[in-house]
Amino acid sequence: MGRYVLRRLGLAVITLFILSMVVFFVASVLPGSVGRAILGPFADQASVEKLNDELGVNGPFWKRYFDWITSALTGDFGDSYKFKQPVMDFIPTALVASLKLAVATLIIVVPLGILGGTFAALRQGKAADRAITIAGLSLAVTPEFVIGILLILVFAVKLGWLPSNGTPNGSIGQQIEVLILPAITLTAVLFGYLSRMARAGTIEALEADYTRTATLKGLPRRTVLRRHVLRNSLLPTIAVIASQMSYLLGGLLVTETLFNYRGLGLLISDAARGRDIPMLMGAVFIIGAISMVLILLADLLIAWLNPRVRLGSKQ
Q: How many other CB atoms are there within 10 angstroms of residue 244's CB atom?
A: 16
Residue 79 forms beta bridges with which residues?
86
Q: How many other CB atoms are there within 10 angstroms of residue 66's CB atom?
A: 13
| DSSP per residue, 146-194 | HHHHHHIIIIIIIS--S--S----SSHHHHHHHHHHHHHHHHHHHHHHH
Smallest distance from the beta carbon of 172 to another protein, in angstroms?
A: 26
Q: Which residue, 1 or 29, has its beta carbon nearer to another protein?
A: 29
Q: Which residue, 9 or 14, has its beta carbon nearer to another protein?
A: 14
Smallest distance from the beta carbon of 153 to another protein, in angstroms?
A: 5
- Helical spans, DSSP H, in 56-171: 61-73, 91-122, 127-141, 144-151
Smallest distance from the beta carbon of 164 to another protein, in angstroms?
A: 8
Tell me the C-alpha distance between 61 and 237, whole Å. Answer: 43
Residue ranges binding another protein (CB under 8 A)? 11, 14-16, 18-19, 22-23, 26-31, 133-134, 137-138, 140-146, 149-150, 152-153, 157, 164, 193, 196-197, 200-201, 203-204, 240, 243-244, 246-247, 249-251, 253-254, 257-258, 268-269, 271-273, 275, 277, 280-281, 284, 287-288, 291-292, 295
User: If we measure between CA atoms, which residue out of 245, 242, 290 comes closest to residue 94?
Assistant: 290
Smallest distance from the beta carbon of 46 to another protein, in angstroms?
A: 24
Smallest distance from the beta carbon of 261 to another protein, in angstroms?
A: 14
User: If we measure between CA atoms, which residue out of 66, 94, 92, 57 comes closest to residue 277?
Assistant: 57
Give SS3 for 126.
coil
Residue type at position 295: I
User: If we measure between CA atoms, which residue out of 233, 241, 247, 248 comes closest to residue 299?
Assistant: 241
Smallest distance from the beta carbon of 70 to another protein, in angstroms?
A: 20
